Chains A and B, each alone.
Chain A
């Protein structure tokens, strides 16, 4: 059974860097694209970006200058870094798998990580 388990730091101060990792089990890491999505009361659901097993990435232009998504195929994990966070980055962050053969449809999600940003 496909499982996505995510972890990372919680409370951040403004200007710090958000760092989250998602571990994938129950499925071959290769052949899929893996995305990060966040959800906040103010902006709803927002796609952050994606990575594939070879490290190829695409980012939401609204976040591109601050985002980095990387992959570690040896450990079946992918990671998100978001720099220079502000209160507007407070959200629940989800890692997701994109459905095979249907780009940007998200068929498996992690449990979500609430990341508050506050001074």
Chain B
């Protein structure tokens, strides 16, 4: 199975800050990477797929980049509603696998 490693596991930032979350795959996955946002007690919500394509309705302050083994999701200006845990997921090979999550909090 492909291992997905996210960093940091948690972060604290102020409203308006630029936030970067990274995800590393244990092998080349091309651009087959998605990002999800999960609020406490809720199901994950798709943000980005194919590494950089925003799902419909996702605010433009979110962006994704990367290919191969290294990927990032950036929140250009953190908002209170962005408080959540973020997960990456590879879908280059079955079984699809997820990162361990990055919890984003407001400072």
Contacts and interface: CB of A to CB of B under 8 A. Distances in A.
B46 A47 contact: no
Nearest to B94: A58
Interface in B68-95: 87, 89, 91, 94-95
A47 B95 contact: yes
Interface residues of B, number: 21
Most chain A CB atoms below 10 A, which of B43, B50, B87, B98: B43
A106 B101 contact: no
Given A105-B49, A107-B55, A45 B95 contact: no
Nearest to B97: A47
Contacts of B66: none
A112 B43 contact: yes
Nearest to B95: A60
Interface stretch (A24-32, A75-83, A96-104): A96-104
Most chain B CB atoms below 10 A, which of A58, A62, A102: A102
B44 A106 contact: yes
Nearest to A62: B95
A45 B43 contact: no
Contacts of A45: 44, 87, 89, 98
B34 interface: yes
Contacts of B42: 112
Contacts of A34: none
Contact of A94 (B34, B43, B91, B100): B43
Given A45-B44, A111-B43, A112-B43, A105 B91 contact: yes
B99 to A, nearest CB: 8
A94 B87 CA distance: 15
Contacts of B45: 109
Contacts of B87: 44-45
Q: Which 5 residue pairs are nearest across A and B when measured between Cβ atoms?
A: A109-B43, A104-B91, A45-B98, A60-B95, A105-B49
Given A47-B97, A105-B49, A109-B45, 5 more contacts: A61-B95, A99-B49, A104-B94, A106-B34, A107-B55
